[in-house]
Amino acid sequence: MLIEQPPLLLRLLYPAALWRMDKEDKSVYLTFDDGPIPGITPWVLDVLDKYNVKATFFMVGDNVRKHPEIFQMVKERGHRIGNHTYNHIRGFEYRSSNYLSNTDKANEYLHTDLFRPPHGHMRWCQYWTLKSKYRIVMWDLVTRDYSKCRNGKQVFENVKRYARNGSIITFHDSVKSERNMKYALPRSIEWLLAQGYRFKIFD
């Protein structure tokens, strides 16, 4: 649970970040990290279209540079875009000036006011600078679709166990998540709809 649903102590590290939306609203916010990736992101878009669901894609700048046509496809289908750095780097492992420059470089392609740090890692000075430029979006439920220790059914069970009003739910449109995500995503959407949840994107 400490991974799937971050505890209060972790949420307090970045108090201005969005971890969960309105607890009184029976809605969830579906998000995807690490794309765009050929063969994976387009598949996600088709699934979302099937259920008339909009989502937010936190994209890696270099992936957008390499696959601009998929980036454009995401925008044209009405989804929200977020910054996930240019090279998917961990804030703790870089000097703040280099990390912030990497984020700025990504936004030359993305042009967004949303940011999610890869792995959820930011130094305090990085966080304070970034929150003046972006709405920092973390998560209330990480599905762990990327985990080699999980299968698709277990990823789906994470959604069923931890989803709640206002949850920001994180999947990954990436190669390492492909098998688990392709099993769990459509089933998760169907289950959430059956429970009466609406899907929203960030204003």
Q: What is the pLDDT of residue 195?
A: 98
- CA atoms of 174 and 154, how far apart (whole Å): 18
With beta carbons less than 8 A apart as the criterion, state whether 136 and 115 touch.
Answer: yes
Q: What is the pLDDT of residue 55?
A: 98
Query: Would you state the structure tokens that stand for residue 157, as one six-digit string?
Result: 């069970």
Catalytic-residue membership of 79: no
Record the pTM: 0.96
Residue 7 has pLDDT above 90, yes or no: no
Question: Would you say domain 20-199 falls under CATH 3.20.20.370?
Answer: yes
The one catalytic residue among 33, 34, 145, 173 = 33
The confidence band for 10, taking pLDDT boundaries of 50, 70 and 90, is: confident
CA distances from 139 to 17, 56, 71, 124 (A): 9, 12, 22, 18
Catalytic-residue membership of 33: yes
Q: What is the pLDDT of residue 2?
A: 58
- CA atoms of 37 and 98, how far apart (whole Å): 25
The one catalytic residue among 88, 140, 172, 173 = 172
- Please, where are the H alpha helices in 6-144? 8-13, 41-50, 61-66, 68-76, 96-110, 124-130
Q: What is the mean pLDDT of the chain?
A: 96
- The 10s digit of each residue's pLDDT in 40-82 is 999 999 999 999 999 999 999 999 999 999 999 999 999 999 9
- The 10s digit of each residue's pLDDT in 163-195 is 999 999 999 999 999 999 999 999 999 999 999
- The 10s digit of each residue's pLDDT in 107-155 is 999 999 999 999 998 999 999 999 999 999 999 999 999 999 999 999 9
